[in-house]
Amino acid sequence: MGHTRKTHEAFYRLPQDIYQTAKVSKLLLAINKGKVSLYKGKNLNEIGLSDIDDSDEEKETLNDNENITEILESQVVQNVICNKSKNDLKEEELKKKLQELNGQKNRKK
């Protein structure tokens, strides 16, 4: 490519500590997810991030949480509508009382 191997190694390769950090990160993710025993005897290079990725249980939990959120949102909407209806009824009652009071004032005159 028009440059020496030394140039390629000095400027284009990632430092070794980045590779080591990535390998340790894989191990820590596996520990965090409780999957370390699945990788017993494997080299860190043999473990892919997709192997450690979300399990079906975690996906089910996320789906359950989304369903609960939808139910709660619908209940909030129903409560708002119910409270609005109650407020509308109170407003109508107040208007009627005001009309009655105005009617009584007009009769007194």
Average pLDDT over residues 66-74: 82
**Residue 35 binned pLDDT confidence (cut-offs 50, 70, 90):** confident
Does 77 share its domain with 105? yes
Does 13 share its domain with 30? yes
Query: How many domains does one find in the chain?
Result: 2
Does 65 share its domain with 21? no
Q: What is the C-alpha separation between 46 and 57, in angstroms, rounded?
A: 24
Which domain covers residue 68, as residue numbers? 56-109
Q: Judge contact between 61 and 80, C-beta under 8 A.
A: no
Does 65 share its domain with 85? yes
Does 65 share its domain with 43? no
Helix (H, G, I), strand (E, B) or coil at 82: helix
Does 61 share its domain with 79? yes
Does 65 share its domain with 40? no
Does 9 share its domain with 27? yes
Does 44 share its domain with 91? no
DSSP H/E element including 58: helix 56-108
Q: Judge contact between 52 and 35, C-beta under 8 A.
A: yes
Whole-model pTM over 0.75: no
Does 82 share its domain with 107? yes
Residue type, 36: V
Average pLDDT, the chain: 76
